Chains A and B, each alone.
Chain A
Amino acid sequence: MKNKHVNAIVVGAGAGGGIIAKELAVNGLSVVLFERGKWPVYDEHPNDELISQRTEVLGSPFGPDPKKNPRVLLHGNNKQIVTPITGGYSNNAACVGSGTVSYGAMAWRFMEEDFKLKSTYGHVEGSTLEDWPITYNDLEPYYEKAEWEIGVSGDDTQNPFSPPRKKRQPMPPFEYNREGQVLHDASKRLGLHPFPIPMLRNSVPNNGRTGCIRNRTCCGFACPVDAKNGTQNTVIPVALATGNCEIRTNSKVVEIMINDSGQATGVKYFDDNDKPQVQTADLVVVSGAAVETARLLLNSKSELFPNGAGNNYDWVGRNLMGHAYTGAFGLFDYDILDFSGPGATVALCDYNHNNSGIIGGGVLANEFNRLPYLFTNIRPPGSARWGKKHKAFQREMFHRTAQVVGPIQEMPVFESRVTVDQQVKDYWGVPVAAMSGERHPLDYKHCKFLSSKAEEILIEAGASQTWQSVGGRGGPSGGQHQNGTARMGNDKKTSVVNRYGQIHEIDNLFVADGSIMVSGGGFNPALTIMALGFWVGNYIVKNFAGTKFKG
């Protein structure tokens, strides 16, 4: 049976797509929200480190199925096929809510400088560093919407570097755990400005759901009491309740159909039973995250766009970024960890911007609770990797190892990219994403800077031994914070979408996820992706007239 024509198709029910679906549905547009995964269930993988978003050695708890969804890693001529289990896959979950089900849920607003890196720091050799076509002020109301509609606990007044805001965060901040308090006090002594991490979790009962119970296994897992806020338990239920939005789970969109006059007419997909189907619509929004969004655009070839939708200037898939994590460890002679979830409680933004010789920088925070298998790889340099000494360290230091860590603002690189591999196909016969490229050399320099600052805090906190763990080398980047592959810009020759997420030259095709970010910030990107979802959604609602999109 033919699917009924709708106003809008949204591809991907994650941080961006869930919000778009809600914005359109409550404003009266008929919407089909496609999700290639299923509704997440906590009970399938409770407290199981080996099948979690932290360690996927035995499986990916929130999808996609490793057997059906390979990707390719290219290192020069060396082609490696990767799955969520093998590593190097850049998996951020395939389920309703996507990464927002299992994330650590830090709720950062980018700083004003993050939107104008080039005018702040100048041209960077070997990088496509650029200003965003929008400013912090443009996005501020949408950050506020994200904070209130999804639900954030925090108190920005304690962070002197926070960008201006009109309205406070809706819930009070979380208390520090023991590690957080120790690091807070040490940072204060150093003249730094620590504050409680804003979180997309309920510090108090909110929106009909309970407050956080500080479950040990939080980051990397679904919440057993639903106190973590994602799109799956906030905006998507709102969208469905309007009666205007239908969610189609286990439905794999494989192509956006573009007609001969250069308009999107709908999508081709494989339904829940793997049967090929067509859904037509007046407009299409792609929110598949940086890797899959690029793949879908590249796989959508048409007469006017023979190299993929919006790719006539070869910018789709370019500038793949993520976050190199960097920091330091410290050993203490008492139990500094109490393992109340999620672990990360304190942060500081002193090393985001305004540091001599550093472009961008990054936030520093204490780390999410480490689980036992992950901890087996955390040892001071030169330590035993096995045997009695390794085991003794595990036993004695599991509660006594503090970590200060942060994501670095990566320098976008044109050759760091997503392409499609015509030889390797997924279960449905569709060419898969291939990731390639190297990080910019400055990333390592910036990581070393941030790691040395992290180590200073641990020394001040009284660690008996410290060591740095410096990221930022190799590549390609990507990971759960993947972004950048459908860059936003004013010039169609050097970007993929305009300032409203609208593909240049296809006025009824939009992108709303991390792909459109011009730079990734020195912060976890979830709240910014959500704000962009509201920003793009608002533009569509205001400019959609009847069955036609008037740009």
Chain B
Amino acid sequence: MFASTKKSILNSLEFSKASKQNEYIKTCNSENKTNNNLSMTTINRRTFIKAASITYGSILLFPSCLTSPGNFRFFTDEEAKCITALCEQIIPADESPGATSAGIINYIDKQLTEVFHYDQTTYRDSIKNLQHYCTKTFGKRFENIEFDQQTNILTSLESGELTKEDWPDGNASSFFNLILSHTMQGFYGSPIHGGNKNYMSFEMLRIDYPLVIGQNRYRS
């Protein structure tokens, strides 16, 4: 994912993305220092990438740096559990499958390293806030709380009821709106973007899939 860059002409949009990106690279590196399991080769590579990005004044995205050790591109496995539970609240399984079966976590995880990279900080911080709130209030992480209790928590997120103390950056409802639209996109959009596994939402909505030009027969 390269946005080009040797050009001297960088617009301010790119600059702002670049600075966020650099912040993130710093975060990655500082986290690395505390990670004893990290191999020397990885550190060397990251150091090299950081140096390279400075040399070229680059705003390149380095997926390797954003990848957490685990099964996802962006999320840690722990974070993924939390997001999966949140998405399942937004589109729960009933008579047809919900967000977990449709792989919405994969959609969000994938897009956070691509189109939505500027939302990375929001996701990471919000998960921390949510887990902090849940541990403090219920003694459990969000994903381990009863379904109905989780629903109540989401209602508080949506309405922005959580106090500054519970949600230090004060943006609970804007995070809620963000993950709400991402979940809907992942569930109802095309599977090529990571969600809506096997077109399961299209099946639920009774729309023809895949669309085969000239072959589909519309129901009467």
| Interface contact B185-A424, CB-CB below 8 Å | no
Q: Which residues does chain A contribute within 8 Å of B98, judged by CB atoms? A: 391
Choose the segment among A44-52, A96-104, A245-253 that binds chain B (4+ C-beta atoms closer than 8 Å): A44-52
Q: Name the CB-closest residue of B to A50.
A: B189
Choose the segment among A347-355, A382-390, A509-517 that binds chain B (4+ C-beta atoms closer than 8 Å): A382-390
Other A-B pairs beyond A48-B190, A70-B13, A385-B158, 18, CB < 8 Å = A47-B210, A50-B193, A57-B181, A70-B11, A85-B115, A214-B218, A225-B214, A338-B219, A372-B207, A376-B188, A386-B154, A386-B180, A391-B91, A394-B188, A426-B9, A427-B4, A428-B9, A429-B8
| Interface contact A216-B12, CB-CB below 8 Å | no
The reply to whether the CB of B111 lies closer than 8 angstroms to some CB of chain A is yes
| Interface contact A67-B14, CB-CB below 8 Å | yes
Q: Which residues of A are in contact with B by a Cβ distance under 8 Å?
A: 46-50, 57-59, 67, 70, 81, 83, 85, 213-217, 224-225, 335, 338-340, 371-373, 375-376, 385-388, 390-392, 394-395, 398-399, 423-429, 432
Contact status of A224 and B9, CB under 8 A, knowing A386-B154, A387-B89, A387-B92? no
Q: Name the CB-closest residue of A to B89.
A: A387
Name 9 A/B residue pairs within 8 A (Cβ), A-sorted: A46-B211, A48-B189, A49-B190, A57-B185, A58-B193, A216-B211, A216-B218, A225-B214, A432-B11
From A47, A398, A432, name the one whose CB has the most chain B CB atoms within 10 angstroms: A47
Q: Which residues of B are in contact with A by a Cβ distance under 8 Å?
A: 3-4, 7-9, 11-14, 16, 89-92, 94, 96, 98, 111, 115, 151, 154, 158, 180-181, 183-185, 188-190, 192-193, 201-202, 204-208, 210-211, 213-214, 216, 218-220
Alpha-carbon distance between A385 and B98 when the two chains are bound, in angstroms: 15
Alpha-carbon distance between A338 and B208 when the two chains are bound, in angstroms: 11
Please give the distance in Å from A67's CB to the nearest CB on chain B.
5
Q: Which residues does chain A contribute within 8 Å of B211, judged by CB atoms? A: 46-47, 215-217
Contact status of A338 and B218, CB under 8 A, knowing A47-B210, A387-B89, A427-B9? yes
Q: Which residues does chain B contribute within 8 Å of A428, judged by CB atoms? A: 9
How many residue pairs link A and B with beta carbons under 8 A? The number is: 122
Q: Which residues does chain A contribute within 8 Å of B111, judged by CB atoms? A: 58
| Interface contact A372-B188, CB-CB below 8 Å | yes
Q: Which residues does chain B contribute within 8 Å of A372, judged by CB atoms? A: 188-189, 201-202, 205, 207
Q: Name the CB-closest residue of B to A392.
A: B94
Please give the distance in Å from B150's CB to the nearest CB on chain A.
11
A-B CB proximity, top 6 nearest:
A429-B9, A372-B188, A50-B189, A373-B188, A386-B90, A47-B211
| Interface contact A50-B190, CB-CB below 8 Å | yes
Alpha-carbon distance between A216 and B209 when the two chains are bound, in angstroms: 11
Alpha-carbon distance between A386 and B4 when the two chains are bound, in angstroms: 39
Q: Name the CB-closest residue of B to A69.
A: B11
| Interface contact A387-B90, CB-CB below 8 Å | yes
| Interface contact B92-A83, CB-CB below 8 Å | no
Q: Which residues does chain B contribute within 8 Å of A335, judged by CB atoms? A: 219
Q: Which residues does chain B contribute within 8 Å of A213, judged by CB atoms? A: 213-214
Contact status of A50 and B220, CB under 8 A, knowing A394-B205, A426-B11? no
Q: Which residues does chain A contribute within 8 Å of B13, judged by CB atoms? A: 70, 81, 83, 424
Q: Which residues does chain B contribute within 8 Å of A387, judged by CB atoms? A: 89-90, 92, 151, 154
Alpha-carbon distance between A479 and B115 when the two chains are bound, in angstroms: 22
